[in-house]
Amino acid sequence: MKLDAKIPSGPLELKWDKHRSDLKLIAPANKRKCDVIIVGTGLAGASAAASLGELGYNVKVFCFQDSPRRAHSVAAQGGINAAKNYQNDGDSIYRLFYDTIKGGDFRSREANVFRLAQLSLNIIDQCVAQGVPFARDYGGLLDNRSFGGAQVSRTFYARGQTGQQLLLGAYQSMMRQVAHGRVKLYPRTDMLDLVLINGHAKGIIVRDLITGEISSVAGDAVILATGGYSNVFFLSTNAKGCNVSAIYRAYKKGALFANPCFTQIHPTCIPVSGDYQSKLTLMSESLRNDGRIWVPKKPGDTRHPNDIPEDERDYFLERKYPSYGNLAPRDIASRAAKEVCDEERGVGPGGRGVYLDFSEAIKRLGKRKISERYGNLFEMYERITGENGYEQPMRIYPAPHYTMGGLWVDYNLMSNIPGLFVLGEANFSDHGANRLGASALMQGLADGYFIIPYTIGHYFATAKEPKSSVNNPEFKKAEKDVVNMIKKLLSVKGKRSAVSFHKELGRVMWDNVGMTRSRQSLETALKRVPEIRDEFWQNVIVSGVNETLNQDLENTIRIADFLEFAELLALDALEREESCGGHFRVEYQENGEAKRNDEQFAYVAAWEYQGIGNKPILHKEPLYYEYVQMATRSYKSMTDLL
Amino acid sequence: MNLTLKVWRQKDASSQGYLETIEAKDINQYMSFLEMLDVVNEHLIVEGKEPISFESDCREGICGACSCAINGKPHGGHKGTTTCQLHMRYFKDGDTIVIEPWRSRAFPVIKDLIVDRSAFDRIIQAGGYISVNTGGAHDANSIPVSKEIAETAMDAAACIGCGACVASCKNGSAMLFVAAKVSHLNLLPQGKPEKDYRVKNMVTQMDEEGFGNCTNIGSCAEVCPKEVDLKFIAKMNRDYGLAILKGESRHKPDTISIQAELSELPID
Ligand SMILES: Cc1cc2nc3c(=O)[nH]c(=O)nc-3n(C[C@H](O)[C@H](O)[C@H](O)COP(=O)(O)OP(=O)(O)OC[C@H]3O[C@@H](n4cnc5c(N)ncnc54)[C@H](O)[C@@H]3O)c2cc1C
Ligand code: FES
C-alpha cells in the first residue's frame, strides 16, 4: 500500500490557501442530500457537527454520554494556544509552528503543523464570537499565560475550565443546528463497528445503551472524533468512558493505525494512593508557570517540606534545563521526575511524588493573584488529598494523559479508507511524538471548525459513490458480527470481572510500555498481553443481558478492544528503535537524554491489521523537512531560541 | 470501614423501584464515593448479581455526569463538591448511607441511580447559544469586555449541567440552570442582540419540560457543586420581564440556517 499524504505543493505558508482553492466544491442544494455520520461530541466532533450543519449537510451525531456536553474535552483545564501575539512578545505563526514541530520531536508533518498554527488565529476569534468567557485583563482585552515547551505567552484560558468553556461553545453551536433540524443527536449510543461498501466508509453499527438494541446507520461519509486511548493503561487522566473501540474497530476494517506507541505521560498529576483507584487526576500544567518543582537533595528525607531549607532542595528542572526550567516539555519533565524518584528522593507515601511549590509565587504576586489564576485547581487538590497547596507544596507525579498516535489520515484528515475522516485526538496528525500543552484543544477545533468543512465537500464532489442503504448485506453482516461478539462475552460466565482484567492489563502496560521502555520490557508486554486476553475470553464474567442498560457489558466490550490494541501499541514501541518525544527506549540515549535516529526512523509508522494475534503489516510514510532543520531537541541552553 | 448502603434499585423506567440493602465491606477513607461503589459493584458482578447502575465519566467534577442524592442531599451536600469528588473520609465505620437518584418530574428514572436529563439539552437548543456561523468572526480583541463582566459571565458559565439544582428544589425548578446560561450569554456584548429571544425561548422550553416554579427558597444554589449564585436568577427575571415588556412573541429560531436557505434557490 502506498501512503499518499496529499500534501499540497507550493511554499509552506501558501499550501493551505492554495489547497482550499483547489478543493472541489459542492453546490448548496446537493449538500442537503449528503448524510454525514459523526461519532464523538468532544471539541472535534461538536465543532464539525456545528460547522457542517451550518453548511447545510444532514448530520447525525453520536456519543456514549447522556449529553454531548459531557464529552471528555470538558475536562481540559489549562488553555488553548494561538499565535495571536497579543502580548507583543515575539510570537508568530512561524514560531508556533516551529515550537510544535520541535515539541513533537520532528515526527510530524510540516504542512499539517503549519496549517494548525495558521488556523489557531481563527479559532480564538470564533470562540470569542460564540461567547466563550476567556480571561481578560483590566483593559478588557484577552489575557494569556505561558505553557510548557514555549517561551512566549500564547495560551488563552478560562480559569481552569478552558476545555469546558470551549466545549460548551461548540456544543451550543451544535445545539443551534439541532434546533434548525440540520443535526440530529444520538446520545447514549455506542459505535461498535464501521461498515464499508465498495471500499468506502458508508455507515456504522451502534448499540443503544438504554435498550441494548443493535442497529445500522447508513451515511455518505463517516467522521470519527472519538478521542484518545490513554485508558489502555487503566489509570490515566482520561474519563472512565474513554476508549479505543471506535478507532480500533475501524482499524480492524482496514484503516491504518499510526504511531500507536506515541503516548504522553503528563508530569503534573496527583500521585496514586491505592489499588482501588479508578483514575488519576491531572493538575493543569499551567501550574508550572508559577510553581517550582523540587525534591530533597538527600535520599530518604522524611522532613516536612516546609522544614527543608532552600540549600537542601534540588530544583531539578531548573538545574538541568536552565532556559525552560519548570516549563520543560512534558516528556522531559515526566522522566526527570521518575529519575529523582528512582534515586529515592521522591516524596509522599510510596516515594512516588515530587513537590510543586508555590511559596515563592505567593510571595511575589500575593495569594489573591495565585488563587485567581488557579483557585479551582488548589481546591481540587485539597478535596482529593486533604492538603492545602497554599500552605505546603503540592505533591505531583506523572500519569498517562494523551495519545499522539491514532488513525492515519492524509492532509484532508481522511484515512486510507475513502470517506472515513478522523478528527481530534483520535487521529495521529499534528503532534508527532509529543504534544505541547494547550495544543490538543487547538487541534480538535482546527479539525472540526476549519478543515473538515472544506475537505469533506471535496470528497463528496469527487467520489460520487452511490447512496447506501441499511438493507445492504454488508450492514446485516456487520450487525450479526456485533451481536455474536456480545453473545460470546455474555456466555463466558467465568469468575473474574472485566475490570480486574483491565487493571491487570494496565499494570503490565505501565510497567513495561510506560514512561521508559526497553526491548526486554516490550517483549514481556508482548508475551503477557495475549495471555491476559486469553484468560479474559475464558474467565470473564459479565452481569445481566444485552437487552437493557448494562454498564458492565459496555465496559467489557471496551476492555476486550483494549486487550487487542495493547499488543499493537507494544509492537510499535518495539519496532521504533530510537527514543523520541514520549517514546523513550533506554537503549537509545546519550548522557541521559533521548537519542533520536533520524536516518532510520523519520517516518510515520502506519499499521495494517492482519487478524488477531497475527503481526500487522508496517507501512512507512517518510517525513520530509524542507523548512526546519531536524535539530536535537535540546531544552538546555539559552541560545536554543529559534 | 464497613458500611450499610440502602440503594435505589429500579429495573427500568416503567418498573417500580425500591431501596435495597447492600453491605459495603473493607472500604478505606482515601477512596472516593464512586470508587466505593466500584468496589461494591465488582463484588456484585463476581457473585453473579446485578451491579448498581450509576452515571459518571470524568470523575473530577467537571462533566456533570455523576448524580445521586446521598442521605437525601444531592452530591452529598459538601460545599462545591460533586459526588465523584466526595471522599469516604466523611463517613465512619458502621454508617448507613441512603443513595437515591435525582427525584424530579422532568428527570424520569431510567435505571437505578440513572435519570434522563435530556430536558436540559432541549432548553439549550431553544436559545442557549449565540447565533454565529463558523468563519468570518472579527478579531477576538475587537470587542473589549470589562474584566468584571467577563468574570461574572464565567461564574455563570461554570455550570456543569448536573441537575442537582432541580433535585434539591421541592418544586423541581430548573431556574438556576437556565439562569446560569441566560446570564452567561446575556451579560456579554456578543450575546446582547439575541438577549430577549434567548430568555423567552429558554424559559418557555423550561416550562414545557415540566420543571416546577421558582419560589425563591435558594436550596438550588446551596447544593450547586459549582456554586452558581442565586443572583443570576434575579438577573434572568429582570431580563425576562424586560423582554415581555418589549412585547415580542416567542421567537422561533430561524428553522433553516442561512446557508441552507440559499440552497432553496435554484443553482447551476
Ligand atoms: C484532564 C485533561 C486535561 C487536559 N487539558 C488540556 C489543556 O489544557 N489543553 C489542551 O490543549 N488539551 C488538554 N487536554 C487534551 C484534550 O482535552 C483532548 O485531547 C481533547 O479534548 C480531545 O478532544 P476530542 O474531541 O478529540 O475527543 P473527546 O473530547 O474525548 O470526545 C470523544 C467523544 O467521542 C465519543 N465516543 C468515544 N468512543 C465512542 C464510541 N465507541 N461510540 C460512540 N461515541 C464514542 C464520546 O462520547 C465523546 O463525545 C487535556 C486532557 C485531559 C484528559
Ligand atoms: S463524574 Fe464528571 S462530574 Fe462527576
Q: What CATH architecture applies to the domain B3-114?
A: Roll (3.10)
A135, A239, A548 ranked by CB distance to B58: nearest: A239
Residue ranges lining ligand 2, Cβ < 6 Å = B 56-59, 61-66, 82-84
- Calculate how close chain A gets to B245, using CA atoms only, in Å: 26
Residue A622 lies in a domain: no
Contact B112, B7 (CB under 8 A): yes
H/E segment holding residue A132: none
Q: Is the pLDDT of residue B134 over 70?
A: yes
> What is the DSSP pairing of strand A617-622 with strand B3-9?
unpaired
Angle at A66 between CA B215 and CA B53, to 5 degrees: 95
A54, A159, A241 ranked by CB distance to B257: nearest: A54
Q: Which of A602, A618, A635 is the last residue of a domain?
A: A602
Q: A406 and A392, same structural domain?
A: no
DSSP assignments along A215-271, one per residue: EEEE-SEEEE-----GGGGSSSSS-TT--SHHHHHHHHTTPPEE-TT-EEEEEEEPP
Residue A585 lies in a domain: yes
Q: Is the pLDDT of residue B267 over 60?
A: no
Residue A232 lies in a domain: yes
CA of A73 to the centre of ligand 1 (A): 4
What's the CA gap between A393 and B72, in Å, rounded? 36
Q: Ligand 1 within 6 A of A42 CB?
A: yes
Q: A394 and A450, same structural domain?
A: no
Give the number of domains in chain A.
3
* Domain limits, CATH 3.10.20.30, in chain B: 3-114
- Which ranges of chain A have pLDDT less than 70? 148-149, 633-642
C-alpha dihedral (A328, A330, A333, A335), degrees to nearest 10: -140
B121, B139, B253 ranked by CB distance to A125: nearest: B139
Q: A414 and A372, same structural domain?
A: no
* DSSP-based helix, strand, coil % in chain A, nearest 5: 40, 15, 40
What's the CA gap between B151 and A626, in Å, rounded? 45
Q: Which one, of A165, A166, A163, A178, lies nearest residue A52 by Cα?
A: A178
Residue A244 lies in a domain: yes
With cell 510497567, the residue in question is A511
- pLDDT one-digit tens code per residue, A197-254: 999 999 999 999 999 999 999 999 999 999 999 999 999 999 999 999 999 999 999 9
- Calculate how close chain A gets to B86, using CA atoms only, in Å: 8
Q: A346 and A254, same structural domain?
A: no
Q: Does A176 touch chain B (CB under 8 A)?
A: yes
β-sheet bridge partners, residue B81: none
Indicate yes or no: CB of B59 within 8 angstroms of CB of A240: yes
Cβ count near A483 (within 10 Å): 15
DSSP assignments along A319-372, one per residue: HH-TTTGGG--HHHHHHHHHHHHHTT---SGGG--EEEE-HHHHHHH-HHHHHH
Q: A451 and A370, same structural domain?
A: no
Q: Please write down the HEC assignment for all residues of B113-179.
A: CEECCHHHHHHHHCCCCCCCCCCCCCCHHHCCCCHHHHHHHHHHHCCCCCCHHHHHCCCCCCHHHHH
Indicate yes or no: CB of B147 within 8 angstroms of CB of A53: no
Q: Which one, of A445, A237, A233, A242, lies nearest residue A330 by Cα?
A: A237
* DSSP-based helix, strand, coil % in chain B, nearest 5: 40, 10, 50
> What is the DSSP pairing of strand A313-314 with strand A292-296?
antiparallel
Q: Of chain A residues 236-265, which have a CB less than 8 A from chain B?
A: 239-241
- Per-residue pLDDT at A641: 29
Q: Which of A376, A399, A422 is the last residue of a domain?
A: A399
Q: How crowded is the C-beta side of A316, counted as CA atoms within 13 Å?
A: 21
- Per-residue pLDDT at A636: 61
Contact A406, A427 (CB under 8 A): yes
Average pLDDT, chain B: 92
Q: A219 and A329, same structural domain?
A: no
- Per-residue pLDDT at B256: 40
Backbone phi and psi for residue A540, each to the nearest 5 degrees, phi listed first: -80, 150
Indicate yes or no: CB of B153 within 8 angstroms of CB of A133: yes
Mapped onto helix, strand or coil, the DSSP state of residue B182 is: helix
Residue A620 lies in a domain: no
Q: Does A182 touch chain B (CB under 8 A)?
A: yes
Cα A239 to its chain centre, rounded Å, is 12
- pLDDT one-digit tens code per residue, B3-34: 999 999 999 999 999 999 999 999 998 899 99
- Per-residue pLDDT at B261: 41
- Calculate how close chain B gets to A497, using CA atoms only, in Å: 6
Q: A456 and A421, same structural domain?
A: yes
Mean pLDDT of B209-219: 95
Contact B22, B30 (CB under 8 A): no
- pLDDT one-digit tens code per residue, B52-109: 999 999 999 999 999 999 999 999 999 999 999 999 999 999 999 999 999 999 999 9
The C-alpha cell at A79 is 488553555
- pLDDT one-digit tens code per residue, B107-121: 999 999 999 999 999
Residue A532 lies in a domain: yes
Residue B102 CA: distances (Å) to CA of B68, B71, B75, B120, B165: 6, 12, 10, 14, 10
> B56, B113, B117, B223: which to mutate for ligand 2, most atoms within 8 A of CB?
B56
Q: Which residues, including other chains, have CB under 8 Å from residue A230's CB and lie 6 or more apart?
A: A236, A237, A238, A242, A263, A400, A401, A402, A403
End-to-end CA, chain B? 74
Q: Does B252 touch chain A (CB under 8 A)?
A: no
What's the CA gap between B57 and B38, in Å, rounded? 13
CA of A171 to the centre of ligand 1 (A): 13
- Calculate how close chain B gets to A528, using CA atoms only, in Å: 23
Q: A47 and A141, same structural domain?
A: yes
Q: A489 and A427, same structural domain?
A: no
- Would you tell me which CATH number, out of the four given (3.40.50.1000, 1.10.1060.10, 3.40.50.300, 3.40.50.150), belongs to the domain B118-263? 1.10.1060.10
Assign residue A361 the CATH number of its domain: 3.90.700.10
Positive or negative, the CA dihedral A70, A73, A76, A82 is negative
With cell 480564538, the residue in question is A124
Q: Does B46 touch chain A (CB under 8 A)?
A: yes
Mean pLDDT of B147-167: 98
- Residue tagged active-site, from A115, A145, A330, A395: A330
Q: Does B90 touch chain A (CB under 8 A)?
A: no
- Per-residue pLDDT at A639: 34
Question: Is A330 tagged catalytic?
Answer: yes
Q: What is the CA radius of gyration of chain A?
A: 24
Tell me which residue range forms the domain holding A37.
12-264+402-463
pTM recorded for the entire structure? 0.95
Helix axes B33-46, A498-513, angle to 10 degrees: 120
Residue A558 lies in a domain: yes
Q: A204 and A154, same structural domain?
A: yes
With cell 456466555, the residue in question is A491
Q: Of chain A residues 492-511, which have a CB less than 8 A from chain B?
A: 495-497, 499-500
Assign residue A511 the CATH number of its domain: 1.20.58.100
Q: A412 and A393, same structural domain?
A: no
What's the CA gap between A288 and A268, in Å, rounded? 8
Q: A193 and A302, same structural domain?
A: no
Q: Does A84 touch chain B (CB under 8 A)?
A: yes
